[in-house]
Each structure stands twice: as structure tokens, then as C-alpha cells.
């Protein structure tokens, strides 16, 4: 029985799809004028995990995540760069898809773009004007008349009197009420513009999502998600627009993920304290980023730091180590109790942290019986990999996970990936292992230890198995550089 925390009611509720077996999910995506940062990555990973779980539970899911490809910041950035705004957005859409693939985020079913939804947007604004919920301001822009919509503030728990509009930002004299927001914006010279009944212009941000979501999922759908900061005014405005225009209930469940923080402050473009996904990927494997995001509850704040990423990598490596050298065969009988506990965790508002702890329980049992009971080990490994897959992790080859890593040369800033496929590198290590084996045979411990230490200095750790064989691995960052430089 899946329970989801609904921002609208501020309670965990039993999830009941509108239509049995089907789920419509809409998530506010990126405004594409720059690279995705870790905060964006969190939205992608969180809702990807939600989507994977719905599918796994047998729901027929339609997952929609929009792209805002026209807005003030895009126009401004394009001007700064001296390029066409479309070229700019295409570039960052491609980059976003790249980041997404790196983080094992499966593409949404539909990815509508604002610029391709202009007709639907105009149609909705027309309806709102006809219903007197919108008006043309003195500057020609079309505004939503917030006073005309009864439940305004229901999602954010705000009321119009308390909002004290204009306190922080100069009131636009073209509006009737300071809280009114723009639906259609008149174009200035040389700005991208579309024909409309109100003249050449472009859509406001809020109306895009109302139009795109109802277009893709219908007037009334199951779940709408996005970052916490979109609760107000963005999602509040969406409710006003959609319910105002259609007269129907818009969304049953509102899901909001918490922020990524840096030094206890929200990571954001405006504060400039952001790390882009591609920046972090220079230093950490993508799976560590995904693990890091999943290691806290999606509604909690998540503090970004090297230490946290190091931790995530170490934890992930523990799981891969358990998996290593066990053939996981899927048709083995699996221990249902782990699967049950995993599902209980996920059913409780997608508690990925608890779900992960189930994986560690599995890993521990697996480590214990690896030698003694290979058959059961296979079953446990299969279970571990299967549950990891539901979270979008543990799908790599364990050996290549262990033999790949980032080695920091402490004397300089130099860091590099040591790729397991580097044949010369591998050969060299094997040669030294062979040499050490001979030294061990001759009980020349000094020589054997010297080889092991010298390899360690160059970032390779040797492990002797009980049967006399020696394997090697790249240490995690935690082992090399515990304080994260």
C-alpha cells in the first residue's frame, strides 16, 4: 500500500490512482539556459526513482517532464552570448540529456517544450479571459486576476492579505492587484514572439506548465511534482490557472523534493554556490552522485560536500564488494523477506534511505555465506542487484567498479580516472602481483610488502584471498583522502 506525502494536505496519504492501474505524473523540468547543477540532478533522480517504482508496482505510468525553452533569462543569456535563443536552448537541452544519462535517469515519456505548446497556452489564456479570471493590463500584458479565484493560497498555506506583495519587489503598475501574475507578455523589439489575440508576445512561465500538463495528462491527473521552491508561487498559480480554466480539480497529489544545500544554504544560481553535474562528474563516478541523492529522504534537505560524496562512494563500494565474484542468476529463489522490507520502505513515501539499508543487510548476509553456500550466495546477489536496479544503482560489473576509481596524487592537484580497460596498466599490476607471489613463496616478506606498498602509493590496493590468489582494486576516495580535498 503506497503512501505519499501530499503537500496539499500536508499528510501522508494512501495513493489512489484516478484510474485503476494508471498514473499520470507531471514534473516541472528545467529552464534551459545553463548546465544542470546538483539541485536539478536531485529532481531528476528523485522522480526517476518514483517513476521506476510505479512501473515496478505494475502501474501504467505516463511521466511528463517539461522543458522551459523560452523566458527572460534565456533571452538575456542569448543576447549576452550573441547567439540565437534556439541555438542556446538546444545546446543546453542536449547537455541536460547527457547529464541525465550519466545519472541513470530514464527519459520521461513525454518532454513537452513551451515553444511547441503555444497554441494550447493561448487557448487556455483565452478561456481565462473569457471567464474574467484574466485581463489585459495597461501595458498590454495579460494578467491573471488572483482575487477572482477562490482557493488561491490553498497549496502554499498563504492568504492574499499576508503576502504583503510589493514589499520586496517594486509593484508593477500595470496590474490591478500586486499579486496578479503575467500570462502573456508583450514582446519588445527583436525578442522572440508569437502571434496572439493580444498581440505579438510570449507566454508567462506559470501558464506553460498548466497548458503542457493538461495537454499531456488531461484536466485532472494524479501527481504533480517539482522542487520545494516551486510551491509558491509557481504551483499555486498553476492550480489557479488550470482549475480556473477547466472548472475541474487539477491534481490529486503534490510532491515536492527538498533542496540541495551548500554549507546549510540553498544551492542556487542566484547565490552562485552551485556545482554543475558535469563539474562533479570530473571527480566522482555518476553512481556515487545518484547514491548520494538517494541516501536521504527526498523531502529532507541534502547538504552537498566532498565528504558526503566520499561517503556515498564508500557505501556504494561496500555493496559492489559484496556482489563481487558471485554469479548473480536471476532465476534463483530469492529471499522474499528482503524484497518485502524494501517495498515497505518504498511504500512509505519513497523512503529510499531505509530501502538502501535493506541492501546493506543483504550485503552483510551475502558476505557471510559467500564461501560456505555459493548457491544461496547467488540468490542473495541476484536479490541485491534486482533491488539496486529499482533504485537505479548496482547495475555495473562489480569488478570494473572496484578496478575503476579516482586517484588523487596528494602532492599536486592532479586527479585522474584509472580505467580498468587500460591494458598496459592492468598488465603492469599483474606483473607486480606475480613478482610478489614469488617473494611470498620464498617468504621474502620484506620484498612482498615493498611491492604492495609501492602499488598502494600509486593508488592500487592488493588483497590476498585465502586460496593464495591476489586481487587488486582502486581505493575509494575515503581511503585515500578522508577529509575530501
Residues 185-204 contacting RNA, CB under 7 A:
none
How is the beta sheet containing 134-136 ordered, strand by strand? 134-136, 142-144, 181-186, 201-203
**361 lines the binding site for RNA (CB under 7 A):** yes
Least distance CB 82 / RNA (angstroms): 22
| Sign (positive or negative) of CA dihedral 321, 322, 324, 328 | negative
**246 lines the binding site for RNA (CB under 7 A):** no
Give the chain's length. Answer: 485
Share in percent of the chain as helix, strand, coil (round to 5): 45, 15, 40
Residues 51-80 as x/- pattern, contact with RNA by CB under 7 A = -----------------x--x-x-------
**269 lines the binding site for RNA (CB under 7 A):** yes
According to CB under 7 A, which residues from 96 to 115 bind RNA?
A: none
How is the beta sheet containing 60-65 ordered, strand by strand? 60-65, 22-27, 221-227, 251-257
**339 lines the binding site for RNA (CB under 7 A):** no
Rounded Cα distance between 243 and 441, Å, is 79
CA distances from 9 to 12, 156, 226, 244, 300 (A): 8, 10, 16, 20, 18
Residues 424-463 as x/- pattern, contact with RNA by CB under 7 A = ----------------x----x--xx--x--------xxx
Which of residues 59 and 274 has its CB atom nearest to RNA in the complex?
Answer: 274
**Half-sphere exposure in the Cβ direction for 139 (13 Å, CA):** 15
According to CB under 7 A, which residues from 314 to 333 bind RNA?
A: 314-315, 318, 321-322
Least distance CB 136 / RNA (angstroms): 19
Cα–Cα nearest to 459, from 444, 479, 441: 479
- Given 63, 143, 152, 181, the residue binding RNA (CB under 7 A): 181
H helix intervals, 300-411? 306-323, 336-347, 352-369, 374-391, 398-402
Of 48-56, 141-149, 245-253, 292-300, the segment contacting RNA by CB under 7 A is 292-300
Of 15-23, 144-152, 222-230, 333-341, the segment contacting RNA by CB under 7 A is 222-230
Q: Is 162 exposed, middle or buried (0-12, 13-18, 19+ CB in 10 A)?
A: exposed
Which three cell numbers mark 125? Answer: 489564456
Rounded Cα distance between 183 and 90, Å, is 24
**464 lines the binding site for RNA (CB under 7 A):** yes
**306 lines the binding site for RNA (CB under 7 A):** no
SS3 string of 389-417? HHHCCCCCCHHHHHCCEEEECCCCCCEEE
- Given 21, 107, 151, 157, the residue binding RNA (CB under 7 A): 157
Least distance CB 233 / RNA (angstroms): 5
- Given 57, 156, 276, 415, the residue binding RNA (CB under 7 A): 156
Rounded Cα distance between 210 and 296, Å, is 30
- Given 108, 203, 227, 286, the residue binding RNA (CB under 7 A): 227
Of 105-113, 119-127, 216-224, 309-317, the segment contacting RNA by CB under 7 A is 309-317
Residue 143 Cα to chain centre, angstroms: 33
**343 lines the binding site for RNA (CB under 7 A):** no
Which of residues 179 and 277 has its CB atom nearest to RNA in the complex?
Answer: 179
Rounded Cα distance between 60 and 51, Å, is 10
**467 lines the binding site for RNA (CB under 7 A):** no
Under a CB-based contact definition with an 8 Å cutoff, are residues 23 and 224 in contact? Answer: no
**472 lines the binding site for RNA (CB under 7 A):** no
- Given 185, 285, 297, 401, the residue binding RNA (CB under 7 A): 297
Which of residues 21 and 301 has its CB atom nearest to RNA in the complex?
Answer: 301
According to CB under 7 A, which residues from 18 to 37 bind RNA?
A: 28-31, 37
**272 lines the binding site for RNA (CB under 7 A):** no
Least distance CB 98 / RNA (angstroms): 17
Least distance CB 367 / RNA (angstroms): 3
According to CB under 7 A, which residues from 364 to 423 bind RNA?
A: 364, 367-368
Least distance CB 18 / RNA (angstroms): 24
Cα–Cα nearest to 71, from 231, 213, 201, 260: 201
Q: Is 318 exposed, middle or buried (0-12, 13-18, 19+ CB in 10 A)?
A: middle
**485 lines the binding site for RNA (CB under 7 A):** no
Least distance CB 301 / RNA (angstroms): 6
Residue 449 Cα to chain centre, angstroms: 44
Amino acid at each position: 500500500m503506497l503512501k505519499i506525502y501530499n503537500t496539499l494536505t500536508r499528510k501522508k496519504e494512501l495513493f489512489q490512482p484516478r484510474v485503476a492501474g494508471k498514473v499520470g505524473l507531471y514534473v516541472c523540468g528545467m529552464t534551459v539556459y545553463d548546465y544542470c547543477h546538483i539541485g536539478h540532478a536531485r529532481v531528476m533522480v528523485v522522480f526517476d526513482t518514483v517513476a521506476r517504482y510505479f512501473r515496478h508496482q505494475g502501474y501504467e505510468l505516463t511521466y511528463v517532464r517539461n522543458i522551459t525553452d523560452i523566458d527572460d533569462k534565456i533571452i538575456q543569456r542569448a543576447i549576452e552570448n550573441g547567439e540565437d535563443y534556439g541555438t542556446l536552448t538546444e545546446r543546453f537541452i542536449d547537455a541536460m540529456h547527457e547529464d541525465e544519462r550519466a545519472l541513470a535517469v530514464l527519459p520521461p515519456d513525454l518532454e513537452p517544450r513551451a515553444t511547441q505548446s503555444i497554441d494550447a497556452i493561448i487557448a487556455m489564456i483565452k478561456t481565462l479571459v473569457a471567464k474574467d479570471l484574466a485581463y489585459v493590463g495597461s501595458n498590454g500584458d495579460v494578467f491573471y486576476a488572483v482575487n477572482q479565484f477562490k482557493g488561491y493560497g490553498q497549496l502554499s498555506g498563504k492568504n492574499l492579505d499576508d503576502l504583503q506583495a510589493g514589499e520586496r519587489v517594486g509593484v508593477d503598475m500595470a496590474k490591478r492587484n500586486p499579486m496578479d501574475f503575467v500570462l502573456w507578455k508583450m514582446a519588445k523589439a527583436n525578442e522572440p514572439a508569437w502571434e496572439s489575440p493580444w498581440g505579438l508576445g510570449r507566454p508567462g512561465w506559470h501558464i506553460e506548465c498548466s497548458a503542457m500538463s493538461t495537454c499531456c495528462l488531461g484536466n485532472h491527473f494524479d501527481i504533480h511534482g517539482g522542487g520545494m521552491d516551486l510551491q509558491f508561487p509557481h504551483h499555486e498559480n498553476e492550480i489557479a490557472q488550470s482549475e480556473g480554466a477547466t472548472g475541474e480539480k487539477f491534481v490529486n497529489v503534490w510532491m515536492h523534493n527538498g533542496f540541495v544545500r551548500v554549507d546549510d544554504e540553498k544551492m542556487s544560481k542566484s547565490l552562485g554556490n552551485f556545482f554543475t553535474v558535469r563539474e562533479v562528474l570530473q571527480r566522482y563516478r555518476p553512481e556515487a552522485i545518484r547514491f548520494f541523492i538517494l541516501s536521504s529522504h527526498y523531502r529532507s534537505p541534502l547538504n552537498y560536500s566532498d565528504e558526503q560524496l566520499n561517503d556515498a562512494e564508500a557505501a556504494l563500494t561496500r555493496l559492489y564488494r559484496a556482489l563481487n565474484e558471485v554469479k548473480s542468476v536471476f532465476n534463483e529463489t530469492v529471499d522474499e523477506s528482503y524484497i518485502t522490507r524494501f517495498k515497505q520502505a518504498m511504500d512509505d513515501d519513497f523512503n529510499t534511505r531505509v530501502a538502501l539499508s535493506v541492501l546493506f543487510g543483504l550485503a552483510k548476509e551475502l558476505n557471510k555465506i559467500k564461501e560456505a553456500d555459493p548457491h544461496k550466495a547467488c540468490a542473495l546477489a541476484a536479490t541485491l542487484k534486482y533491488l539496486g536496479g529499482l533504485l537505479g544503482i548496482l547495475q555495473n560489473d562489480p569488478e570494473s567498479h572496484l578496478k575503476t576509481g579516482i586517484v588523487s596524487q596528494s602532492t599536486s592537484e592532479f586527479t585522474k580516472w584509472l580505467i580498468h580497460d587500460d591494458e598496459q596498466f592492468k598488465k603492469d599490476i599483474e606483473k607486480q602481483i606475480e613478482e610478489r607471489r614469488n617473494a611470498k613463496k620464498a617468504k621474502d616478506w620484506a620484498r612482498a610488502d615493498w611491492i604492495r606498498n609501492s602499488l598502494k602509493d600509486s593508488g592500487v590496493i592488493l588483497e590476498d584471498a585465502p586460496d593464495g590468489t591476489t586481487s587488486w582494486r582502486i581505493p575509494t576516495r575515503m581511503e585515500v583522502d578522508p577529509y575530501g580535498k
